[in-house]
Structure 1
């Protein structure tokens, strides 16, 4: 058969088959249209039956909703996602807005405290983490932040005793790390430096010591001429890999059902580096006898060693440790960084705070370090106000979401005046933006965008309008741990340094949002 004859036969066959393809393609398109139409009619019927009305539609999302999702990722990568949400909600007095993804998935965004309360507490069983497990599993596996249902309950029951008050009160283990941090600061001789970079190294050092039993000592470097006091394989890659992996996790979360599009080689390699170090500590702990575990814990509480008493499953141990690492390291580093940024911009606040610390604990060579305890720190009211105000303006998790496990409602935000309930079909997403809630003028006044610790002196009860550590059954287990560590660090820095000078004119700062929030560009200042 000649080549031309063969091509002619193929062409003829194609012409014969084409009508069938066209027919089935048309049937598929019609079926999709009918399905979407039927789904929306059912939702409309249920909404009317329950007396619900939709909040304003976010028109920029279009029919597919994809432009809004892509815009969210773009803003996140530019460090302006939180501010974009803040500005967007100024256009919607209902405090809620919605969009649809291809007519299939309804996404409601809300900053209303009553709606947040419903999602996190009063209607807790109506919502779940949805696809978060798939978003976060490559790094965090099956842990307290990624699981729902019985898996989450088991995780919480396992971890709750590890955050008992007597363990939180043990702040003395922070002091050796404070000394190294202070050396770095003094080494700069009042020249401009990035304090956030040091805080992240500091918190990874304190978190690994508390969680694993040994610090990775990332603050030990050639600048100080300090040699590592221990030999931990994979130490040099851990901190950077952990940061990079979390940035990819955030991209996956904001892409919602399209999370699988974010799975590059760098993400996989960083996950391996993080897992390598965690596995080293888990294997080491599992090789200890019960007597050796007790002996190695006699000088201080070790999170991992206590978990080993409850389970010897290496995957369970690794996953839970990495889940807690996110909270123990990142939230504290972010809180410290934002606090010092605002203190450097507000010298009167810094002076007032130092005065309180000095009156209670002394300063310089006369500092009474032994008197800085969990109980005594709680008595420093202005320090507490400074941290409360920082967490108001810069909540650790500024944007979060839940997925409806059944057809349900939100109490308000629908209709023209926002007084009607909103219908939430099963599978829909409710995203709540605490960052904006904390800036609502009806709760915090016209100066809600300003850093003003004094506002907390006579603050009325705020309820769900102030939510720095989430709320309801999934309220953060480690909130007191983070606050205690942050309080200790701020108090010690106030004792050791008299002058704090801001060296960065960019304000408001760009914010890096992955699983938690910190400053995109660091905290540049001078200290002496």
Structure 2
């Protein structure tokens, strides 16, 4: 009986302590807000006093593959001119902003005030370890200094590697001899196999060849997917990420680590054997692991750095390719215009024309198509940062939304890039339409940051555009028609586990051109 009353008293004292602490914190915030001349932004009440969801709309939106639209619609419901909100959640709060001026502050002019959150770090760490995607402060700067020189070199764009894996993809697209049409096919898993195969070869000098259905490739793809889905769920629960640590998650992480460790150990041994008498390494194809091994031979560090690059590049490029073809299948006039551009620029026969990467990067309409796919579908629909110290955002406060907003130290800011890239006032009344030509007249700034921005901007942005563009070129050369074969209501489904992919895949059939 005594223990029961003691427990009840402890609970009451804890609740009272939390309430007093929360009120004192709010008082301090309001005082500091006034000192800095800041104004409070609109409030969106997501939860009740116990931190429990008031509505089921958010969960339902995720289940229905429309969570990015839900966030946008929620902000619009406050006001179409509302671009920054404060969201109280039990004893803490977060901010959500889709304002380009705030993007400039977070990623550029006040970037030293912000970094990724510890929750994001720790959600990812069991899967990919320490690297450019999961570290902060000095550790992050060290990772970036290792990787940045490698992605500034043209050698990372390997024509022979890209062509070999494109041809492996093409063998999966079987054409009926008389009609020259393929059967209905879902391109999305083929693109994800392609990017896993090219990324693994680029990183480790050894492809998993998942496109061919090898045991190694299937196992890698499966465990990679399982681990990322678990990380997605960990990120969703924010500071309670540690509660989600299932055996399935741990097994998938262990398999990935063993696979990488075996490759790293073998590669380091081979590099040692291949040294010439003057102790200079022999000339060989570019492999990122080889370049990183010049800086460290620590297997844990090499595993972390390469897995960070793999997770940042494989699925994002696969998603970009999927969305490009998703929209091309629904806009035959865009596909025809793009195809004619490709034939004029690169030639009509895929086996007799060599793609120059410099020309690819300057093929404007191809770039417009990929950018428009990134804008309307937004491969990374949500980004985030946390305030390292008391700071401010330049706009979003007050009734007009023009006042500064106070951000207390430790506060997380969510950045819904999808919501920002679907603002009519920034992109026009046809914002929901797939229209690559919009980029002819518009040079977007901070309202278009699909690869992030500032110091943490994705190092592989140009690499992703080059790889995706190469695949698009080869498809345009081989096929002259593409039909949308998706059944159902035709609604776009934004399914995301970290990155956004089509919830219905890319269901098409293709017609082979005459050569």
- Could you state the TM-score of these two structures normalised by the residue count of structure 2? 0.92
Whether 1:185 and 2:173 are equivalent positions in the alignment is: yes
2:341 maps to 356
Query: Are residues 1:467 and 2:452 paired?
Result: no
Deviation at 1:369, TM superposition (A): 2.6
**1:224-235 equivalence runs, <5 A:** 234-235=216-217
Q: Tell whether the 8 Å contact from 2:182 to 2:509 is kept in structure 1 after alignment.
A: yes
What is the correspondence of 1:411-430 to structure 2 with a 5 Å cutoff? 411-430=394-413
Partners of 1:187 and 1:279 in 2: how far apart? 40
Quote the offset at 1:386 in angstroms.
0.5
Shift in alpha-carbon separation, 1:325–1:25, aligned structure 2, 3 A: closer
For the residue of structure 1 that corresponds to 2:437, the secondary structure is: helix
- Superimposed CA distance per residue, residues 64-92 of structure 1 (whole angstroms, 9 cap, x where no aligned partner): 44427986555334422112112212223
Shift of 1:18: 5.5
Q: Contact (CA 8 Å) 1:63, 1:100: kept in 2 or not?
A: no
Residue of structure 2 in register with 1:308 after alignment: 293
Greater Cα offset, 88-97 or 341-350 = 88-97
Q: Secondary structure at the match of 1:173?
A: helix
SS in 2 for 1:90: helix
| C-alpha spacing 1:268/1:17, structure 2 compared with 1 (3 Å) | closer
Q: Deviations over 1:296-337 (max 9, x none)?
A: 974521111111111101011001111100122111100000
- Per-residue CA deviations over 1:197-254 (Å, capped at 9, x if unaligned) read 1000111111111111011111114xxxxxx6xxxx8443111110121111111112
Give the secondary structure class of the aligned counterpart of 2:53: helix
Task: Give how far 1:395 is off.
Answer: 2.4
Aligned to 1:251: 233
The C-alpha deviation readout for 1:368-398, integer Å capped at 9, x for no partner, is 432x111111232111110111111122211
Superposed displacement of residue 193, structure 1? 1.2
Deviation track 1:425-483 (CA, whole Å, cap 9, x = no partner) reads 11111000111111111221000111001111111x32101111110111110000000
Preserved contact between residue 70 and residue 255 of structure 1 (Cα < 8 Å): no
Contact (CA 8 Å) 1:69, 1:254: kept in 2 or not? no
Verify the 8 A CA contact 2:46 2:89 in the aligned structure 1.
no
Alpha carbons 2:46, 2:88 under 8 Å: kept:
no
1:33-77, Cα deviation, whole Å (9 max, x unpaired): 211111111111111221222221112433344427986555334
Name the SS for the 1:201 alignment partner.
helix
1:81-480 pair list within 5 angstroms: 81-92=67-78, 93-102=81-90, 104-131=91-118, 132-186=120-174, 189-221=181-213, 234-290=216-272, 292=274, 298-364=283-349, 368-370=352-354, 372-459=355-442, 461-480=443-462
Q: Distance in 2 between matches of 1:494 and 1:178?
A: 13
Q: Structure 2: which 5+ runs fail to align?
A: none
Unaligned 5+ segments in structure 1 are 1-13, 222-227
Say which SS state the counterpart of residue 211 (structure 2) adopts. coil
> What's the CA shift string for 1:488-526, capped at 9, x where partnerless?
110011001111110115444212222222122311111
Distance 1:258 1:69, change over 3 A: farther
Q: Is the 8 A contact 2:156 2:286 kept in 1?
A: no
| Alpha-carbon separation, structure 1, partners of 2:254 and 2:56 | 28
Q: Is the 8 A contact 2:394 2:403 kept in 1?
A: yes
CA distance in 2, matches of 1:50, 1:70: 37
Q: What's the TM-score, normalizing by structure 1? A: 0.90
Counterpart CA distance in 1 for 2:44 and 2:22 is 19
SS at match of 1:467: coil
CA pair 50-319 structure 1, distance change in 2 beyond 3 A = same
Are positions 1:75 and 2:57 aligned together? no
Q: Check whether the contact 1:73–1:254 (CA below 8 A) recurs between aligned residues.
A: no
Deviation at 1:270, TM superposition (A): 1.4
- Counterpart CA distance in 2 for 1:427 and 1:266 is 32
Q: RMSD of the TM alignment (CA)? A: 2.2
- What is the aligned length? 500
Q: Comparing 188-197 with 59-68, which one deviates more in the overlay?
A: 59-68
For the Cα contact (< 8 Å) 2:97–2:414, is it kept in 1? yes
